[in-house]
Structure 1
Amino acid sequence: MPETREIKTHGHSVPVRVDPEPEREGRPALWPTVGEYPIYDEFLYSTMTTDHERSERFLAALAELAPGRRVLDIGTGEDLLWARESVKAGAEHAVAVEVIEGAFDKAADTLTALDRRDRITLLRGESTTLRFAPRAEICVAEIIGSMAGAEGAAAVLADARASHLVPRGRVVPHRAVTLAAAVRLADLLPGQPVAFAEASLPYLESVFDWNGGPFDIRLRVENPHTDALLCDGRPVEVLDFNGELRTEQRTTTRLDITRASHVDGVLTWLNLWCLPGEEPLDALRTKTNWASIYFPLFDRPLPVAPGDVLELSVETALSDDGIHPDYHLAGTLHTTDGHQHHGSLASPHHAGPFKAHPAYQALFPTA
């Protein structure tokens, strides 16, 4: 049974609907999204460094591209992971950049213990404000979110191409696409309450503290029940890191409902290519730290049947920090009996409204 717990943020108590059942392998879980925010701890770093599917693809790209070249690692983390792996793969030199103070300090400690520390330069700051010479030939950045651009990859890597890479320099990863499908949230968590996992509460509190108060944070669904999808996934955000890279975009797509059920929003997930021509990593169907993000659209679940169509528009615009995107979703459900239902959601990176949608009112009940 779900419980109501309280978290503290800036001296105020915020009631939160919580699923007290311990998390276990393969069980769906609802979390706040965390990758977009500077709250990384050992647990979050370890989930990335132990992600086999993610690591194998980045390693394969570096093995092909890094030998004999200068590499820039943006968001290197406390382990200097891709800077170290680039040097191991034969890079001439690696510049590792980290903005989070705690991670930078640990990275500095890591660097002093390395045999090849003379081939790695560690810099603290945002890559968009730092300058160094000579320019790199390869840029590797593990700043891809569960929504492809959520961690600022488009703005950061567009700047890296302009400011830090030689002409025709290469970026790893090569491409990232966000797909979306119509769903009902409760069906993604079958047999479970729609409530935050208990283990997620410290991270929810940390993000709210960073923001200066609560807001309608994006909802991360781990191990979602894929039978809940009511249609095939369609692209709603496309980032070509070695091609035409757009920091802002608007996509409208048609989601054709294939079975009878109910819909109240959309589930989004990542497809990622580290090298052109490879099969993409599909985060919905692969065991990886990237999860899926649920966006509520309609105030209540609406019945749907085969032949119904959800016309979905997703707009991406940079937030006031110039790095992280805000998302705005709008959907119109066209049913075969001629009815239309409209829904929308504004999902800013930070400083947005709190409990503006019924889905969030249920997750943060009034005490």
Structure 2
Amino acid sequence: MRIEYHRTLIADHVRNQAFHDALSRVIKTGETVVADIGAGTGLIGLMAAKLGAREVILYEAAEVAGVAAATIKANRARACHLMPCHSTEMEDPPRVDVVVSETLGNYAFEENIIDTLADARKRHLKDGGVIIPARIRQFVAPVISDRIHRELIVWNDVGFGLDLSVARQMSLNNVYVRSLTPDELLDGGRGAKVWDTVTLGSDTRASRKGEASFKVETDETVYGFAYWWDAELIEGVTLSTAPDAPRTHWEQLYFPLEKPMALAAGESVLATLRSRSSEEAGTHLAWTAVHFDRDGASKAKQAMDLDKGWIP
């Protein structure tokens, strides 16, 4: 187990403050019982204890649970109780007033937060209890900058009379963690659209699908799509990974197109995204793009799939 990943979480002051603000609004001193699911080093659970929670139950199945145990002891946090298991494995778990889980990735659901919090609502949470985060919205926007595209087609320039197009095709069927700027997006990202919304605890479908259409006012070339999410922790406290949001340890995702789409003014592109996540199989992503002319007739379609980007 390497501590470096957890250091990046601890260093993310935007993330930490947002969860602290959310907890401070729902914890009643000496009354509230909290479950911190996916506790990591124990930071969020310890925050809850400092804010006056009567009891905090921390669930952590990975080796970092040992760090959490030592950290709880070092802070003399007698209200904190560590369970070195996944919350879904806990038999007859104690019921709590608040469930909090920061198990979000660059792709929001890659750590299976949907399944985890659906189980938590059913087995861990008291009637009328609070789940943090409450809701996730997933956004998409066309990328009109060729910066990342040029990285991915370097296979074209190897020279020596060699054809590496097979490898290039695989590169363009991958998803990339990148920081994008608003000026790299269509309309500066202002026209980004929600393609999926999940109410955590209530929604149980780990397979997600959605689409969004974008019409261009001037000639534009679309090289791929940018993805980000925002999480409503509780009403009034939102955490976002958008390009123009305060910087966090998360970044945006870039979904490439195999061939750039040159759209004339008045034409549109339809993006469809699909995902499937599970503990056993990990996260599968696929995306398509359809180019429509001014009259709504389809001109071209591309279908990309993360499975095509893996070496068999």
TM-score norm. by structure 1 comes to: 0.70
Q: Distance in 1 between matches of 2:51 and 2:145?
A: 43
Report if aligned partners of 2:119, 2:201 keep a CA contact under 8 Å in 1. Answer: no
Q: 1:174 aligns with which of 123, 131, 134?
A: 134
3-state SS, counterpart of residue 147 of structure 1: coil
1:60 aligns with 2:21: yes
**Which residue is equivalent to 2:59?**
97
Q: Distance in 2 between matches of 1:355 and 1:229?
A: 30
For residue 239 of structure 1, report the CA deviation from its aligned partner.
1.6
Q: 1:256 to 1:194 in 2, by over 3 A?
A: same
**Which residue is equivalent to 2:184?**
228
Q: Distance in 2 between matches of 1:174 and 1:259?
A: 38
For residue 320 of structure 1, report the CA deviation from its aligned partner.
6.8
Percent sequence identity over aligned pairs: 22
Deviation per CA, 1:30-80: give whole Å up to 9, x if none.
xxxxxxxxxx733321222221221121111111112221111111112x0
For residue 278 of structure 1, report the CA deviation from its aligned partner.
4.4
Q: 2:232 aligns with which of 252, 263, 273?
A: 273
Instruction: Pick the structure with greater CA Rg.
Output: 2
**Which residue is equivalent to 1:165?**
125
Q: 1:261 to 1:65 in 2, by over 3 A?
A: same
3-state SS, counterpart of residue 121 of structure 2: helix
3-state SS, counterpart of residue 234 of structure 2: coil
Q: Distance in 1 between matches of 2:88 and 2:201?
A: 18
Give unmatched runs, 5+ long, in structure 1. Answer: 1-39, 196-213, 357-367
The correspondence of residues 104-253 of structure 1 with structure 2, limited to 5 A, is 104-116=65-77, 118-184=78-144, 186-187=146-147, 194=151, 218-222=175-179, 224-231=180-187, 232-241=191-200, 243-244=202-203, 246-253=205-212
3-state SS, counterpart of residue 314 of structure 1: strand
3-state SS, counterpart of residue 301 of structure 1: strand
Give unmatched runs, 5+ long, in structure 2. Answer: 153-170
Q: 1:355 to 1:258 in 2, by over 3 A?
A: farther
For residue 330 of structure 1, report the CA deviation from its aligned partner.
1.9
Q: Distance in 2 between matches of 1:71 and 1:51?
A: 22
For residue 97 of structure 1, report the CA deviation from its aligned partner.
1.2
Q: Distance in 1 between matches of 2:51 and 2:92?
A: 23
For residue 217 of structure 1, report the CA deviation from its aligned partner.
5.5
Report if aligned partners of 1:330, 1:344 keep a CA contact under 8 Å in 2. Answer: yes
For residue 96 of structure 1, report the CA deviation from its aligned partner.
0.8
Q: Distance in 2 between matches of 1:289 and 1:136?
A: 29
Q: Distance in 1 between matches of 2:84 and 2:186?
A: 45
Q: Distance in 2 between matches of 1:61 and 1:249?
A: 27
Q: Distance in 2 between matches of 1:185 and 1:100?
A: 40
Report if aligned partners of 2:21, 2:237 keep a CA contact under 8 Å in 1. Answer: no
**Which residue is equivalent to 1:292?**
252
Report if aligned partners of 1:270, 1:290 keep a CA contact under 8 Å in 2. Answer: no
Q: Distance in 1 between matches of 2:248 and 2:65?
A: 25
Q: 1:179 to 1:136 in 2, by over 3 A?
A: same
